[in-house]
Structure formats: structure tokens, C-alpha cells
Chain A
Amino acid sequence: EIVLTQSPGTLSLSPGERATLSCRASQSVSSSYLAWYQQKPGQAPRLLIYGASNRATGIPDRFSGSGSGTDFTLTIRRLEPEDFAVYYCQQYGNSPLYLFGQGTKLEI
């Protein structure tokens, strides 16, 4: 079974800086089946990126996804105050179905 490991666990940055979040899979994941979500306290997750690099509807272009195989990255260019949240990667192509990583907390 695939395991998704996100790093770092916590990332401390300032508004205006660039954030780079990593998601590593224990086995190769099809790029078509890798997504990223943002979750703020008390809110539902929001889909940011799917298919490793496709922005979901309404997502600002400062968010971008990349990667293939076992290594995937979410980059947030020029952090805005509202970007500080927890970010999860998810694979939805292999077993176990719809597996999420453990999350990266992006804090100021």
C-alpha cells in the first residue's frame, strides 16, 4: 500500500515569501491522481490542485503544483495572509483509495 509523507510538518514563513511543500509517495503515483487541498481551522478542505498540476476552479495562479512518480510539490508564490493554513496532498488512483498525507501546517 502507498504511504504519503508530507514535509515539513510545519513551515514558518512571512507574507510575500515563497512556500514549497513536499509530498513523497512510497510507490509511484500517476500524476493524474495527485491532488492538494487547503484547510483552515473550523473549515472544510478546499481543492487547490488536481492531476498534480491543474489548478481547481477559482484558485489563484500563485498556487502551482508539480512533480511525478514519487515526488510532488505544491508551491505558493508570494504568500498572502489568507494562505496560512494546513495543506494536504491526496492520491486517488491506487490502493488505498483516496489516501491523504498527514498535512503540512503553514504558519506565520
Chain B
Amino acid sequence: EVQLVESGGGLVQPGGSLRLSCTASGFTFSRYWMSWVRQAPGKGLEWVANINEDGSEKYFVDSVRGRFTISRDNVRTSLSLRMNSLRGEDTAVYFCARHLGPKFRAPLDYWGQGTLVSVSS
């Protein structure tokens, strides 16, 4: 059974940093692109970043580029999102999700339950 479990969310002050993790199991992690998607309270979905199978390709939405870093550890089957210079508008539930198949352009077929990041003073 495919499982994705996020952790690391919490309350952080504006300008602060946070590192989110996603532990994957039930599939060959190293064969899949992975994404982070966020959802602000009461709002819709926004894709944040993704990373290819070996970590050599990374893409970000414009609003986080230069502030967020995505990485992965295929031995530990984990995905990370390092968030710096956090702003109020970064407040959201952050989901990690797997791409359907080993593809860059692919829908997201498995999702974790999400971890809440709140940016507030």
C-alpha cells in the first residue's frame, strides 16, 4: 500500500524557517517524481515544487522560488521542503504527492494527509 506521511509543520514567525518531511512507503520511491502542493485555509490547491527521480531537476512556483528548497533521500525514501523567509501567505496545509508514473508532466496519484504550517507573530 502506498503511503505518504508528512511531518514538520507548526507555528513560525514571519521571516522564520521550517523544514517539512514526507516519508514514503509501499512503492519504489526512487522511480517517481514527487511534488509538494499547499492549500491555504478555506482556499484551493496550489502546486509548490517538484523534484525528479534522482534529485537533479527541481521546479518551483514563482512565489516561493529562491525561498524554498526541495530535496529527497532515496535511501531513506523521504522528501523534504526547506522553507525560508516565511510569510503570512505561506500559511497552508502542505501535502506531498507522487506523480503518476515516472513523468514530469503527470497528475498526482497519491497524496499524504498534509501538515499545517502557520506563519504568524
Give chain A's interface residues, CB within 8 Å of chain B. 33, 35, 37, 39, 43-47, 50, 56-57, 88, 90, 92-93, 96-103
Contact = CB atoms under 8 A, between A and B. Distances in A.
Contacts of B105: 33, 92-93
Contact of A35 (B59, B107, B111, B113): B107
A100 B59 contact: no
B44 A100 contact: yes
B46 A92 contact: no
A82 to B, nearest CB: 18
A50 B107 contact: yes
Given A100-B44, A101-B44, A103-B44, A47 B109 contact: yes
Contacts of B114: 44
B113 A47 contact: no
A92 B113 CA distance: 22
